[in-house]
Amino acid sequence: MPKWDRATLDRFIDAEAALVNRQLTLAAEGKDVWTAWRNIRKGIFSQYGQLLVEQKFGDIVVLTKRL
């Protein structure tokens, strides 16, 4: 991240905002703060790290919808 230019940083922030928004939406619906992570053991978010490294922030936004 330290080498990212402003445009890349903005895309990262947008992707992380999508993740946080999804977590909060699911928490409100499920009445449990951990609702978004109920299927994490199934590997539905396992691509996150690689997508982050590859700066595929749009794909991270799509991935959050699978939570």
Please give the Cα distance from 9 to 66 (Å, whole number).
23
Q: pLDDT exceeding 70 applies to what percent of the chain?
A: 97
| pLDDT tens profile 1-51 | 668 999 999 999 999 999 999 999 999 988 888 888 888 888 989 999 999
Please give the Cα distance from 15 to 45 (Å, whole number).
14
